[in-house]
Amino acid sequence: MYEKWSSTLEKVDLFKDITFSELENMFFCLRPNIKQYQKDEIIALEGDDIKNFGILLEGKLMLYKEKFDGTRVLLKQVHPGQLFGEIASFSDKRKWPAQVQVAKNSTVMFMPPEKITNTCTNLCRGHRMLTLNMIKIISKKAINLNKTIEYLSVKSIRQKIAYYLLDQYKKTKSKNFMLDMNRNELSDFLNVTRPSLSREMANMRDEGLIDFHRSSIKLLNIDKLSSIV
């Protein structure tokens, strides 16, 4: 049943160091629920009760936070093999902290958090690894949350763009890279309007800081970009 997504499941951090054969046996105990969604469908609204966390098997999801003025901020994109809702599912409140929307047709595996924390009756190696992996994932998410807060705390549009581009430069270790967001998604993520984002990026290109074509970015002056942030 799960062979269709074996290549994705083997890349999931939650299942790190667990063989696919072990994983198949564990699924009899974990009993995950697989659901399919269409583009633009809402999986969860902020404040909804959360019973299970999700693992995206195929497609793409967007996590949005709504502001008091009705606008929304893109918190994260979820790609195949990534988890979402895992931190909230282990909390006392058990509420979705953000809206989860489908960016393109998606298949999601949902799993109850109790299956991760409860002791396995068979005391299998895989289940012990599952618990350890979840602790590592939650720790990493806490660190990444600080990064998101840093983006939101920067007020200048130019600073936000420079901060984001330098962050991608550090991740890719290259001055040339492809953005994994379109302009609308990037403007939501940086909490700026799309016209303002496009205008400032054009200004930065005219000043010789960057060059770009659609989603392709080239950093021309790392020192000047660094001085902006």
Query: How confident is the model over 83-130, as pLDDT tens digits?
Result: 999 989 988 889 999 999 999 999 999 999 988 877 666 656 777 888
C-alpha distances in Å from residue 220, one per residue of 112, 175, 206, 215: 47, 8, 11, 16
pLDDT at site 214? 85
Residues 17-72: tens digit of each pLDDT: 888 888 888 888 788 999 999 999 999 999 999 999 999 999 999 999 887 777 78
pLDDT at site 174? 95
pLDDT at site 99? 95
Domain ranges for the chain, please list them. Answer: 3-149, 157-228
Residues 90 and 85: their CA atoms lie apart, in Å, by 9
Mean pLDDT, range 161-179, rounded to an integer:
93
Residues 210 and 69: their CA atoms lie apart, in Å, by 33
Q: Which has the minimum average pLDDT: 26-30, 42-46, 146-150, 166-170? A: 146-150
Q: What is the CATH number of domain 157-228?
A: 1.10.10.10
3-class DSSP state of 126:
helix
pLDDT band at 143 (very low <50, low <70, confident <90, very high): confident
Q: Which uninterrupted H or E stretch holds 152?
A: helix 125-153
Most confident listed range (122-126, 139-143, 170-174, 204-208): 204-208
Which CATH architecture describes the domain 3-149?
Sandwich (2.60)
The number of beta carbons lying within 10 Å of the beta carbon of residue 47 is 13
